[in-house]
Structure 1
Amino acid sequence: MSEIASLFVTRLYRAALSERGPAIDPNELAASCNSIAEDDEAGQDWCEENDFPGYTSYASLTDLPWRFSIFKDLVAALDKHVAAFASDLAFDLGDKKLKLEDIWINILPEGGIHTSHLHPHSVISGTTYVAMPEDTSAIKFEDPRLPMMMAAPGRRKDAPESLRNFVYVKPQVGEVLLWESWLRHEVPMNMSEDERVSVSFNYAWGS
């Protein structure tokens, strides 16, 4: 009898942020993100110099949890989500835990995009969602085997999600997504008139 197995599965973690750790008021988090963006002149300058759409604190603020108590609470919740995901992935971490490496704010205006990328030198990356207008863009994940499919035909439109070359995920406000940092992803153009606001982060091991 024939058998078909799934090998080398790519995992995607999705949960409500509130399932683990301290409660985070989404309105307070949104207000904090917007306030930081307005005051962060170095971040604004970096975005302008690098033609980055909207705002990111990635290149300017490295200590959000130290500056703002709500980000300290956010990291406490994320630590628990990441630990749960690491357990699901059967990581052998030894006597060390995965620790937050960096965390930053993203504010994507109408017409803004985040082009395809991955997160080198990290183990787990993710995003929690602060403002997701109804008609804003989802996050797009790419099959990591795609560069090796040199002569493969395309997939049918009705292919199951697990066999598609690209998968789009549109999370809700208050949700967190986690994935292994080598997984390539992007945010297509925001077609909404309203801003798409998120907080992204990386976790590393061995420090």
Structure 2
Amino acid sequence: MLQIKSLFATRLYHAKLSDHGSPVDADELLASCFSIADDDEAGQEWCETQGYPGYTSYASLTDLPWRFPIFADIVTALDAHVAAFAEDLAFDLADRKLVLEDIWINILPEGGIHTSHIHPHSVISGTTYVAMPDGASALKLEDPRLPMMMAAPVRKKDARDELKAFYYVKPEVGDVLLWESWLRHEVPMNMSEDDRVSVSFNYRWE
């Protein structure tokens, strides 16, 4: 009997941040992101030196949940989302757990991009979305097998999602996306005149 199975799945978790924990005030979160960006001179300098478009606190701030209580609320919700995703992934964590490693703000202006990358040394990575104006770029995920597909033909445009070489997901404000940290991803050019604002994070196993 003919059998065709899908093996070695790449999972993507997509939910509302408010599905766990108390709802986060979107306006307060957006204002907090811009307030932090305005005050973070070290972060601004790093972005300018590295040619990073817009602003990120990735290389400058490690204490967002302490600075603004709203980020502590976000972490509480994220802990529950990550635990649910780890269960879906059938992780055997033994007597250890997944804990927040870092969390940072991204403000991507018109024309800004974030090139393809992974998150080394982490287990689960993700983003929650604060501002997604019309024309803001989706998240682009890459099939991790792509470098090994040497002589394979391209996929048909109407191929099923799990067979596509690249998958684009357009989140809404208040959504949270989670993926395993080895999954290569990027943010294509922001075609909106307004800033695309998000909060990204990593979880490690300890």
TM-score, normalised on structure 2?
Answer: 0.99
- Correspondences of 1:88-107 after superposition (within 5 Å): 88-107=88-107
What SS class does the counterpart of residue 102 from structure 1 fall into? Answer: strand
Identity over aligned residues, as a percent?
76
1:97 Cα deviation from its structure 2 partner: 1.2
Q: Does 1:3 align with 2:3?
A: yes
Determine the structure 2 residue equivalent to 1:118.
118
Determine the structure 1 residue equivalent to 2:78.
78
1:66 Cα deviation from its structure 2 partner: 1.3
Q: Does 1:20 align with 2:17?
A: no
- Correspondences of 1:46-195 after superposition (within 5 Å): 46-195=46-195
For the aligned residues, what is the CA RMSD?
0.5
CA distance in 2, matches of 1:147, 1:126: 23
CA distance in 2, matches of 1:133, 1:168: 17
1:186 Cα deviation from its structure 2 partner: 0.1
| CA deviations over 1:2-30 (Å, ceiling 9, x no partner) | 00000000000000000001221111100
Matched letter for residue 4 of structure 1: I
CA distance in 1, matches of 2:119, 2:98: 15
- The runs of 4+ residues in structure 1 deviating greater than 4 Å are none
| CA deviations over 1:83-127 (Å, ceiling 9, x no partner) | 000000000001111000000000000000000000000000000
What SS class does the counterpart of residue 38 from structure 2 fall into? Answer: helix
Q: Does 1:30 align with 2:30?
A: yes
| CA deviations over 1:156-176 (Å, ceiling 9, x no partner) | 111111100000000000000
CA distance in 1, matches of 2:22, 2:123: 24
CA distance in 1, matches of 2:13, 2:54: 27
What SS class does the counterpart of residue 202 from structure 1 fall into? Answer: strand
TM-score, normalised on structure 1?
Answer: 0.99
What SS class does the counterpart of residue 122 from structure 2 fall into? Answer: coil
CA distance in 1, matches of 2:142, 2:110: 23
Determine the structure 2 residue equivalent to 1:41.
41
CA distance in 2, matches of 1:57, 1:89: 29
CA distance in 2, matches of 1:77, 1:96: 19
Matched letter for residue 57 of structure 2: S
CA distance in 2, matches of 1:63, 1:169: 29
What SS class does the counterpart of residue 103 from structure 2 fall into? Answer: strand
What SS class does the counterpart of residue 144 from structure 1 fall into? Answer: coil
CA distance in 2, matches of 1:71, 1:193: 26
Matched letter for residue 159 of structure 2: A
Matched letter for residue 20 of structure 2: R
CA distance in 1, matches of 2:72, 2:199: 13
Structure 2, gaps ≥5 residues long: none
CA distance in 2, matches of 1:23, 1:204: 25
Matched letter for residue 48 of structure 1: E
CA distance in 1, matches of 2:51, 2:135: 24
CA distance in 1, matches of 2:50, 2:132: 25
What SS class does the counterpart of residue 14 from structure 1 fall into? Answer: strand
